[in-house]
């Protein structure tokens, strides 16, 4: 894909003019039979897809209040229409959040509302034809489920919920996406998204111990499957070998080492990511998450800590308690959840984000840093959208913004904010989230990162920013791939715990 170029920065970030059809040809690869069947979906588009799709839609409307209310409530006010990074980058009107929802809403109106049944043209209702189904596939795989639109909608309509429902319907009729569904298959079979088997993981971790020893002179451990450890660390599998992710993993290990915390990784649950969320399938979401419950029960850990990953933290923070019982406050007669919750130590938040863990330790003065180790960097922070808009930290609203920034400021001297229109809950997605981090969508990914790159360029030019920290494995992978296309050095992006790793003093507590 040599022809993929970065779109030009907008001089003043005005709302782009529409280019209908600009992205209709950009479609991620469709899953083959093997991939689909491995996770229980029909191998290919079924004969009676029309009826089954409508039936599935009806079922989802009855199971998810979000979908039902969102289908009804939109007034077409257009407040969300210029808020999506994919619309800004591609100018395709179907990438406006409301237009994306309307791809489904038009069908909803036709089959589930009286005016749509009687006067389809009047209310913009359409039959579910093969063209419509294809359009769904195209544009619902051009949404990273980042929820930016939901911040701005007067009713909080979250296009991510609609996208998830659409993908679920598509999967149920045998029209799945190769990238996401293949990965889910790997988790079930091997335990992580990258298909890294236990023995390979063991080798990798041993290699890391040697590297860190060489680097620092300290015996920092990377334990695997240690029964009775206090902390079980669940982290995205990219942390085990992708760059710059691995530097973050080293950072976590150093924090555990310096605070004398006994911890372990699990070969059964060697993945924090959960693509079940991306495809909107509750059963898959749950099944993937259950590995963590099993590992926690088997290893008998007291605490569960989650590494740097945006959507994984959303799933962990917002959904784990529901899906697996990792959390607290289950009904006394809820045996499923109580079984695990009795084991966990409720003096701590369950699960905790590794940033919460590190920040607590910093506040308890159990960590010391040489901040000058990060002096070569002028650092800014990209709020990963799943953390920003789908989760929290620290037990108060907005903790998810403060805590990573607090850590950066504790370990480095130079910190700069990007434009407030693009941070905190208004942050822009990196352009690669939600099951779109695949090379067949590179064109979309490059265009979708435009709004983030614009403001990064601004702080790079004006304040000399040369490092963008984030706490998401997908953001890291996406940025290292697309930043060179925008003329940045790929090493400019890294994790918060990479900065921690640089500055942490291992010798004296």
- Least separation, in Å, of the C-beta of 220 and another protein? 29
Nearest partner of 429 among 50, 153, 83, 120, judged by Cα: 83
The verdict on 98 binding ligand SF4 (CB under 6 A) reads yes
**Window 153-172: residues binding ligand SF4 (CB under 6 A):** 153-155, 157, 159-160, 163
| CB-CB neighbours of 1 under 10 Å | 8
Reading phi first (left if > 0) and then psi (alpha if -120 to 50, else beta), residue 501 is in: alpha
**Window 331-390: residues binding another protein (CB under 8 A):** 331, 334, 336-337, 349-351, 388-390
For β-strands 303-306 and 352-353, DSSP reports them as: parallel
User: Helices 97-112 & 49-63, crossing angle to 10 degrees?
Assistant: 100
- Least separation, in Å, of the C-beta of 397 and another protein? 4
**Window 430-489: residues binding ligand SF4 (CB under 6 A):** 430, 432-434, 472, 474-475, 478
CA-CA distance, 313 to 294, in Å (whole number)? 18
The verdict on 330 binding another protein (CB under 8 A) reads yes
Nearest partner of 301 among 223, 187, 366, 198, judged by Cα: 223
**Window 147-186: residues binding another protein (CB under 8 A):** 147, 150-158, 161
416 binds, among another protein, ligand SF4, ligand HEM, none (CB under 5 to 8 A by kind): none
Q: How far is C-alpha 180 from the geometric centre of its chain's CA atoms?
A: 13
Nearest partner of 479 among 469, 495, 490, judged by Cα: 490
Select the span of 75-83, 358-366, 376-384, 462-470 touching another protein (CB under 8 A).
75-83
Out of 21, 115, 207, 487, name the contact with another protein by CB under 8 A: 115
DSSP annotation of 233:
E
CA-CA distance, 446 to 5, in Å (whole number)? 8
- Least separation, in Å, of the C-beta of 237 and another protein? 24
The 10 Å CB-count burial string (b at 16+, else e) for 218-243 is: eebbbbbbbeebbbbbbbbbbbbbbe
**Window 414-453: residues binding another protein (CB under 8 A):** 425-426
- Least separation, in Å, of the C-beta of 179 and ligand SF4? 14
CA-CA distance, 388 to 390, in Å (whole number)? 6
Q: Could you give the string, one character per residue 175-214, with x where binding to ligand SF4 holds by CB under 6 A and - elsewhere? A: ----------------------------------------
DSSP annotation of 492:
G
- Least separation, in Å, of the C-beta of 177 and ligand SF4? 15
Nearest partner of 349 among 401, 399, 274, judged by Cα: 399
Using the minimum distance from each CB to ligand HEM, give the nearer residue, 5 or 75: 75
- Least separation, in Å, of the C-beta of 155 and ligand HEM? 7
264 beta partners: 232
395 binds, among another protein, ligand HEM, ligand SF4, none (CB under 5 to 8 A by kind): another protein
Would you state the structure tokens that stand for residue 23, as one six-digit string? 């992205």
- Least separation, in Å, of the C-beta of 147 and another protein? 6
Instruction: Compute and round to an integer the Cα radius of gyration of the chain.
Output: 23
Closest residue to ligand SF4: CB criterion:
433
Torsion, Cα of 231, 234, 238, 239 (10° steps): -20
Out of 33, 122, 197, 217, name the contact with another protein by CB under 8 A: 122
- Which residues bind to ligand SF4, rule: CB under 6 A? 74-80, 83-84, 86, 97-98, 100, 143-149, 153-155, 157, 159-160, 163, 310-311, 384-386, 429-430, 432-434, 472, 474-475, 478
């Amino acid at each position: 894909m040599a022809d993929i170029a970065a779109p030009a920065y907008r001089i003043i970030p005005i709302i782009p003019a529409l280019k209908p059809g600009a992205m209709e040809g950009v479609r991620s690869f469709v899953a083959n039979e093997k991939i689909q069947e491995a996770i229980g979906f029909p191998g290919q588009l079924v004969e009676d897809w029309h009826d089954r799709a409508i039936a599935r839609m009806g079922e989802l409307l009855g199971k998810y209040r979000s979908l039902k209310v969102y289908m009804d409530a939109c007034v077409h006010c257009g407040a969300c229409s210029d808020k999506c990074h994919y619309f800004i980058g591609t100018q395709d009107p179907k990438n406006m959040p409301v237009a994306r929802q309307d791809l489904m809403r038009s069908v909803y109106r036709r089959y589930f509302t009286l005016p749509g049944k009687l006067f389809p043209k009047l209310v913009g209702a359409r039959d579910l034809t093969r063209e419509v189904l294809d359009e769904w596939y195209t544009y619902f795989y051009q949404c990273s489920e980042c929820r930016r639109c939901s911040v701005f909608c007067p009713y909080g309509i979250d296009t991510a919920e609609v996208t998830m429902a659409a993908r679920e319907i598509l999967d149920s009729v045998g029209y799945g996406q190769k990238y996401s569904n293949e990965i889910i298959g790997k988790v079930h079979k091997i335990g992580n998204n990258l298909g890294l088997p236990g023995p390979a993981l063991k080798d990798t971790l041993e290699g890391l111990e040697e590297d860190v020893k060489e680097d620092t002179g300290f015996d920092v451990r990377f334990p695997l499957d240690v029964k009775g450890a206090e902390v079980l660390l669940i982290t995205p599998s990219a942390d085990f070998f992708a760059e710059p992710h691995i530097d973050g993993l080293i950072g976590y290990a150093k924090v555990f080492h310096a605070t004398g915390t006994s911890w372990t990784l699990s070969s059964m649950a060697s993945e924090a990511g959960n693509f079940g969320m991306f495809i909107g399938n509750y059963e898959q979401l749950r099944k993937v998450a259950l590995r963590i419950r099993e590992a926690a029960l088997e290893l008998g850990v007291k605490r569960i800590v989650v590494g740097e990953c945006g959507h994984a933290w959303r799933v962990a923070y917002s959904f784990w308690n529901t899906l697996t019982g990792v959390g607290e406050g289950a009904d006394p007669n809820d045996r499923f959840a109580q079984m695990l919750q009795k084991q966990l130590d409720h003096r701590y938040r369950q699960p905790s984000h590794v940033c919460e863990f590190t920040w607590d330790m910093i506040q308890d003065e159990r960590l010391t840093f040489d901040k000058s180790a990060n002096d070569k960097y002028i650092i800014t922070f990209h709020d990963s959208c799943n953390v920003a808009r789908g989760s929290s930290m620290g037990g108060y609203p907005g903790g998810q913004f403060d805590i990573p920034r607090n850590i950066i400021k504790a370990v480095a001297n130079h910190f700069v904010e990007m434009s407030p229109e693009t941070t905190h809950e208004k942050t822009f997605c990196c352009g690669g989230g939600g099951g779109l981090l695949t090379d067949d969508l590179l064109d979309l990914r490059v265009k979708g990162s435009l709004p983030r790159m614009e403001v990064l360029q601004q702080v790079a030019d004006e304040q000399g920013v040369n490092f963008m920290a984030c706490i998401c494995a997908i953001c890291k992978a996406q940025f290292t791939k697309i930043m060179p296309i925008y003329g940045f050095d790929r090493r400019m992006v890294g994790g918060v715990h990479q900065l921690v790793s640089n500055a942490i003093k291992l010798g004296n507590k």
